[in-house]
Chains A and B, each alone.
Chain A
């Protein structure tokens, strides 16, 4: 009997490429949500694999909270330039002004939640019918439940009780007027799979993913990079540590981890050894309630 062997990373890659091409084939106006983090950087590499030597059939869209790591923003702009692909940036700042929203205040103040408003505005502005995102099911227990093609109503809301059945690798992208779809090509990848892929593909990441000295606030046992945006009390302890970031999101809700990992191999070794999950180590926003992610998704979040 004929035999062939496809390594697990190749299998995951093949599945992700297939999903991206289904988005391209089924939708009129798709977009790829790009945050500058490693998962969306991985998505971009997969898009190259799916569509080169052609152009991407979608722009890269970044919803900028205005509180991002400057390194990530620089990386974003350089990448779009190098790829020759269209980049759309929309600012939470502008939504706050336009919709007269109140800026979150207090100890856990973060614009992360406000991104939803800007995202919905952007979807409406361009008429996007499908947004590709880099969410993974291993990240969080509500994400573990979401379909690869996740239908959202016109308010972007996810209804976990009304998810469509999703059979084999046949994705149903049919939607009614006003609805849109979030598509997640790397649903079945774990944090470690992403790192192994980055290694295999020789992808350069923003340097904040590797060890560097940084001034941080100690908040609830977590290290938060100091910046003009983070809420600070006089008694807050400020330390300088060797850190890196396991996820790169908004500076006000993404914590650093102490680390001396200086390259991909040492990061992989560190993750293999880690006793804390990616989000557990780095996200302030999930900790607030038991079902914080589900609640945000129901409200239209990525």
Chain B
């Protein structure tokens, strides 16, 4: 069985939490005691329908205000797949929580209220999903019950969205008319919308391909920890513990350790003290090398034929997540996989208009929830890839040097001299 990780996004009150509640309810993954808890909270509407959003809105403040503030993670399984859901908040002030949920997702469900159509938050969340390299988007036109299940309303919204989405990098976009509250086209196909002949949302989620979402081409093994038992039995043992974030590693592979450039050969690939034939993304393993090389946390083991450069300079897109504005010259900590280094934002090249995807040039600062393109310089050299080429080696976070909170999510666009990839913005 494989895993599909997805997020629900879209504007405030468009029905994200209700949709997840409905998915869980109709696949019978809600326990009786959880239902009783909702019933006893008294949140049932005049039609006797339970407020299913309470299944994910678990915080006191959320239940009081009837909104989602932070991401909730929910789990369900069908005979076909295990699903990990991140229910994101719609409010703009909680965008960073939406980004948190989106960063690990392979599919993004964007909800649109059929009465309101495409909104600024619909666009913002679509752009963020696309920037984060989420390969599959599903646009659920929700609350179809409130527009009389009218096909023309649906068609108009699909048209509007397509107009906007031409500029997105995510190319696999699916549209489904639903009613999260009533359950139309969520698990079972709707009888109220005979004009729609596509799959229900769950049918779609069960068949979206996920296997090719891991990069098996570029070998990247950041060392997290060095295992040195110092026992009689394992006197000279030195194992490099880490996760294959992309690529495949086998015994006998010739490797280079970056940034030092030392070379060696893989002596063994192990997991839990047992030898493996090979290790591939996203496995966590231990590599032993033939030679005594000096390796510590933060170094990256790559295969020799790939001959890569490490760099201190690159351009990146950044979602800024701090109330304090980002200005050129800002000094921050930058964490990329298992490396942490100091970094300076040398230049803010432009800001992205989240409605039109246009560039806004000549900006001297970037506010909370803005998306911008910057030039970064780091204190130590890093082995980074353009994010869209290798999602697991192109992302980094920015950390405030005094509060230590995470203030930015960065995605590498261009590495030093490398030519620009197919970036839309």
Of the listed stretches A71-79, A91-99, A138-146, A204-212, chain B binds A138-146
B residues 99-155 near A (Cβ < 8 Å) are 99-100, 103-104
When the two chains form their complex, are residues A167 and B404 in contact, meaning their CB atoms are under 8 A apart?
no
A interface residue count range (under 10 / 10 to 19 / 20 to 34 / 35 or more):
35 or more
Given A8-B1, A142-B58, A275-B32, also A165-B97 (CB < 8 A)? yes
User: Which chain A residues (44-77) contact chain B, with CB distance < 8 Å?
Assistant: 48-55, 57
Which listed residue (A7, A161, A168, A175) contacts B392, Cβ 8 A?
A168
Pick the interface stretch among B165-173, B212-220, B351-359.
Answer: B212-220
From B77, B82, B282, contact of A6 by CB (8 A): B282
Report yes or no: B33 in contact with A276, Cβ–Cβ below 8 A. Answer: yes
Residues of A close to B3: CB separation below 8 A: 8, 11-12
Proximity string of chain B (22-56) to chain A, C-beta cutoff 8 Å, 1 when within and 0 when not: 00000000011110010001000000000000011
Known: A8-B82, A145-B71. A48 touches B214 (CB 8 A): no
In the complex, what distance in Å separates the CA atom of A230 from the CA atom of B144?
54
Give Cα A95 to B46, complex, Å. Answer: 52
Q: Confirm or deny: B284 has a beta carbon within 8 angstroms of a beta carbon on chain A.
A: yes
Cα A2 to Cα B216 with chains together (Å): 7
Contact B409 A167 (CB under 8 A): yes
A5-B2, A291-B59 given; A170·B283 CB < 8 A: no
Are A4 and B280 in contact, CB atoms less than 8 angstroms apart?
A: yes
Cβ distance A184 to chain B, nearest Cβ, rounded Å: 11
B204 within 8 A of A: no
Smallest CB gap from B212: residue in A:
A1
Smallest CB-CB separation from B55: which chain A residue? A141
Q: Report which of A145, A166, A188 forms a contact with B406, defined as CB distance below 8 A.
A: A166
Q: Is the CB of B103 within 8 A of A167?
A: yes
A51 to B241, CA, bound (A): 8
Tell me, in angstroms, the Cα distance from A137 to B55 when the chains sit together. 13
Assess the A142–B33 pair: CB atoms within 8 A: no
Tell whether A21 is near chain B: CB-to-CB under 8 Å: yes
Find chain A residues with CB under 8 A from B225 CB.
Answer: 21, 24-25, 51, 57
Residue B363 at the chain A interface, CB threshold 8 Å: no
Whether a CB of chain B sits under 8 angstroms from the CB of A266 is: no
Please give, as numbers and ranges, the residues of chain A lying within 8 Å of B56 by CB-CB distance: 141, 144
Is residue B61 contacting chain A, with contact meaning CB distance below 8 A? yes
B237 CB within 8 Å of chain A: yes
With a CB–CB cut-off of 8 A, which chain B residues contact A54? 227-229, 237, 239
A158-186 near B? 1/0 per residue, CB < 8 Å: 00110111111110101110000000000
A298 smallest CB distance to B (angstroms): 9
A170 close to B397 (CB less than 8 A): yes
Judged by a CB distance under 8 angstroms, whether A258 is at the interface is no
- How many residue pairs link A and B with beta carbons under 8 A? The number is 195
B-chain residues with CB within 8 Å of residue A172 when the two chains form the complex: 335, 397, 399, 404-406
For the complex, would chain A's binding face be called helix, strand, loop or mixed by DSSP majority? loop
Known contacts A8-B3, A280-B34, A53 near B234 by CB under 8 Å: yes
Inter-subunit contact A170/B335 (CB<8 Å): yes
Q: Knowing A1-B212, A25-B297, say if A144 contacts B73 (CB, 8 Å).
A: yes
- Evaluate contact between A142 and B59: CB separation under 8 angstroms: yes
- Determine if B70 and A145 form an interchain contact, defined as CB atoms under 8 angstroms apart: yes
Looking at the assembled complex, report how far the CB atom of A236 sits from the nearest CB atom of chain B, in whole angstroms.
Answer: 23
Interface flags, A186-216, vs B, CB<8A=1, else 0: 0110101100000000000000000000000
Q: Is the CB of B227 within 8 A of A291?
A: no
Query: Do the beta carbons of A21 and B224 come within 8 Å of each other?
Result: yes
Question: CB of A3 within 8 A of chain B?
Answer: yes
Mark B293-334 against chain A: 1 for CB-CB distance below 8 A, else 0.
000010000000000000000000000010000000000010
Contact assessment for A174 and B333 in the assembled complex, using a CB-CB cutoff below 8 Å: yes
Chain B neighbourhood of A141, CB < 8 A? 55-56, 58-59, 72
Q: Does A255 contact B (CB under 8 A)?
A: no
Task: Give the most central of A21, A147, A275: most B CB within 10 Å.
Answer: A21
Measured between alpha carbons, how far is A165 from B237 in the docked complex, in Å? 38
Contact B409 A165, beta carbon cutoff 8 Å: yes
CB–CB B77/A192 < 8 A: yes
Given contacts A4-B216, A174-B404, contact A145 B272 (CB under 8 A): no
A49 touches B271 (CB 8 A): yes
CA distance A10 to B237 in the complex (A): 25
Of A1, A3, A24, which contacts B224 at CB under 8 A?
A24
Q: Does chain A have a CB within 8 A of B373?
A: no
Known: A4-B281, A167-B99, A275-B32. 9 other contacts (CB 8 A): A3-B216, A12-B3, A13-B284, A14-B243, A14-B283, A141-B59, A165-B406, A167-B103, A172-B406
Query: Can you list 6 residue pairs at the A/B interface with Cβ under 8 Å?
Result: A22-B224, A51-B227, A51-B241, A52-B273, A145-B70, A166-B100
